Amino acid sequence: MVAEKHEQIFRSGSKTYYFSSRFFPPAVRKDVYALYGFVRTADNLVDTQPVDPALFHAFRKAYTTSLTTGEASGDVVIDAFLELQKRKQFDPAWTEAFLDSMEHDLIKSTCDSLDEVLTYIYGSAEVIGLYMARIMDLEEAAFPYAAMLGRAMQYINFIRDIQEDNELGRRYLPLDTSGISSLEYADVAVHQQLFATFLRTEIKRYQTWQKEAQKGYRYIPRRYRIPIMTAADMYCWTAQQIALDPMIVFRKRVKPHTSRILSRGFAHSLGVALPCRLFRKQNA
* CA contacts within 13 A on the Cβ side of 175: 14
Q: Which residues contact 67 (CB under 8 A, 6 or more apart)?
A: 82, 92
CB atoms within 10 A of CB 66: 18
What is the predicted pLDDT for the residue at 284? 37
**Where do runs of H (alpha helix) occur along 14-142?**
15-21, 26-47, 53-69, 76-87, 92-107, 114-121, 127-135
Q: Are 127 and 94 in contact (CB under 8 A)?
A: yes
Q: In angstroms, rounded to a whole number, what is the distance separating the alpha carbons of residues 27 and 208? A: 33
* CA contacts within 13 A on the Cβ side of 274: 3
Q: Are 246 and 191 in contact (CB under 8 A)?
A: no
DSSP reduced 3-state for 110 = strand
Q: Where are the domains of the chain?
A: 2-270
Over the chain (284 residues), what is each successive 10-residue block's mean pLDDT?
Answer: 73 87 95 95 93 96 98 96 98 98 94 94 98 98 98 98 95 90 94 95 96 96 95 96 97 96 95 75 44
Q: In angstroms, rounded to a whole number, what is the distance separating the alpha carbons of residues 35 and 82? A: 9
DSSP E strand stretches across the chain:
none
Q: Are 130 and 151 in contact (CB under 8 A)?
A: no
The torsion angles phi and psi of 169, rounded to 5 degrees, stand at 75, 30
What is the predicted pLDDT for the residue at 153? 97
Give residue 64's Cα distance to chain centre: 23
Cα angle vertex 13, ends 9, 18, to 5°?
85
2-270 folds as Farnesyl Diphosphate Synthase (1.10.600)
What is the predicted pLDDT for the residue at 274? 78
Q: Which residues contact 115 (CB under 8 A, 6 or more apart)?
A: none
How do the residues of the chain divide into helix, strand and coil, expressed in percent and rounded to 5? 75, 0, 25
